[in-house]
Amino acid sequence: MAIINKGLAVAFLGVGLAVGSLSAAWAQNTLLNVSYDPTREFYKQYNAAFAAHWKAETGEDVAIQQSHGGSGKQARAVIDGLEADVVTLALEADIDAIAERTKKIPANWRELLPNKSTPYSSTIVFLVRKGNPKGIKDWADLIKDDVQVITPNPKTSGGARWNFLAAWAWAEKEFGGDRTKVTEYVTTLFKHVPVLDTGARGATTTFVERGIGDVLLAWENEAWLALEELGPDQFDVVAPSLSIYAEPPVALVKGNAQAKGTEKLANAYLEYLYSKEGQNLAAKNFYRPSDPSGVDAKLLEKFPKLELVTIEAFGGWKKAQPEFFGDGGIFDQVYKPGN
């Protein structure tokens, strides 16, 4: 009995302490950045850099919390109530969805920050096993009989949508715009996909750690990161003849930031992405900086020059999103699992 009394007392004390420390954590300046999968390493470094910058500037401490996942999934979580101050997602359509559904982001958000709210860009490349045993050089090679392709699910992953559109763009050029042939190519391509992970990081893990598949369609930064982190002796990066100019945009979730009183801080956080330090960190993490002028030339050497199609070729995301990835859209018609 005495034990139980003591136990209960300890338990309640524990609750009190924990609640106390949680609220203490809230009292300081806290930002929640909801981001997509492959930005983990970049934002880890950037958050530390920004916190130091903010401290030097204002003398205030700032704690930045991160959430990562497939871009579409993250957008839905914010729509569902995840209280992000800023979103740094893989594509415009996901931020548009938050803006439309919650009204917490102004509709003209792309005009609120430089370079259409895109501080860094990327593209889609191939990651293959060392020595490229299957001889994969371009999109045509992905549908060779014995090739297994790893890509995440376009329904949940922003990167996967860029992958899909890059493949589509190549096929359009290859087949001179013949819609039947293009659809056929993409359908065949997805028959070579054994796993659809929900996010780019899951797909990388499938390819790299689980040893499934011959080629990973990956963000350029994710491919280089895998190479760097997990051994250049295991993989090669292959740049296809044509790919897509992928713009992962950023935005302030004004509704949430205003409610929390973090608007000024959150804006400064996003603006710092465009600074020399921010751009260098982006390049160091294999993102193509939007303003390369102040970036170390050595960092820029890694980015191969290739033909890049922009989303405007698809009529912009407002048109491409429902047409390709909406319910019953092209992806739904193309991807029939199990056949």
Partner 1 sequence: MRNEHFRNPISETAPVRWALILAVLAFLALFVLLPLLVVFTQAFREGWSAYFSALGEPDAVSAIRLTLLVAAIAVPANLIFGLAASWAIAKFDFKGKAFLITLIDLPFSVSPVISGLVYVLLFGANSVLGPFLKSHGLQVVFAVPGIVLATIFVTFPFVARELIPLMQEQGTGDEEAAISLGANGWQAFWYVTLPNIKWGLLYGVLLCNARAMGEFGAVSVVSGHIRGLTNTMPLHVEILYNDYNIVGAFAVASLLALLALLTLVLRTILETQYGSELSATQKH
Partner 2 sequence: MASARSAARWHWKTPSVIPGFGLTLGFTLAYLTLIILIPLAGLAWRSASLGWSDFVRLVLDPRTLGALKVSFSTALIAAVVNVIFGVVTAWVLVRYNFPGRRIVDAIVDLPFAIPTAVAGIALTAIYAPNGLLGSHLAPLGIKVAYTPLGIIVALIAIGLPFVVRTVQPVMQEISREVEEAAASLGASRLQTIFRVILPGLTPAILTGFALALARGIGEYGSVIFIAGNIPFVSEIAPLLIVIRLEEFDYGAATAIATVMLVISFLMLFLINFIQAWSRRRFGHAQ
Check binding of 211 to partner 2 (CB under 8 A): yes
Q: Is 77 in the site for partner 1 (CB under 8 A)?
A: yes
CA angle 21, 24, 27 (to 5 degrees): 160
CA 288 to chain centre: 14
Under DSSP, the state recorded for 85 is S
Q: CB under 5 to 8 A by kind: which of partner 2, partner 1, none does 243 bind?
A: none
The one among 54, 68, 69, 239 contacting partner 2 by CB under 8 A = 69
Q: Decide: is 161 part of the binding site for partner 2 (CB under 8 A).
A: no
Strand ranges across the sheet with 62-69:
62-69, 29-36, 86-88, 250-252
CB of 159 to partner 2, least distance (A): 15
Q: Which is nearer to partner 1, 8 or 300 (CB)?
A: 8
Nearer to partner 1, 12 or 103 (CB): 12
Asked whether position 14 contacts partner 2 by CB under 8 A, the answer is no
Number of CB atoms found within 10 A of residue 319's CB: 12
**Binding of residue 66 to partner 1 (CB under 8 A):** yes
Q: Which of 6, 14, 319, 323 binds partner 1 (CB under 8 A)?
A: 14
Continuous segment of H or E residues that includes residue 124: strand 124-129
Q: In this structure, are residues 203 and 163 in contact, taking their beta carbons and an 8 Å threshold?
A: no
Any idea what the Cα angle at residue 230 is, between residues 227 and 236, rounded to 5°?
A: 30
Candidate residues 71, 198, 262, 290; the one interacting with partner 2 per rule CB under 8 A = 198
Per CB under 8 A, 81 contacts partner 2: no
Q: How far is CA 20 from the centre of its chain?
A: 35
Binding of residue 205 to partner 1 (CB under 8 A) = yes
Half-sphere exposure of 81 (CA within 13 A, CB side): 0
Phi, psi at residue 218, to the nearest 5°? -135, 155
Residues that bind partner 2 (CB under 8 A): 69-70, 72-73, 76, 80, 153, 155-156, 194-198, 206, 209-212, 337-338
Residues that bind partner 1 (CB under 8 A): 1, 3-4, 7-8, 11-12, 14-15, 18-19, 21-22, 25, 32, 40-41, 63, 65-69, 77, 79-83, 201-202, 205, 229-230
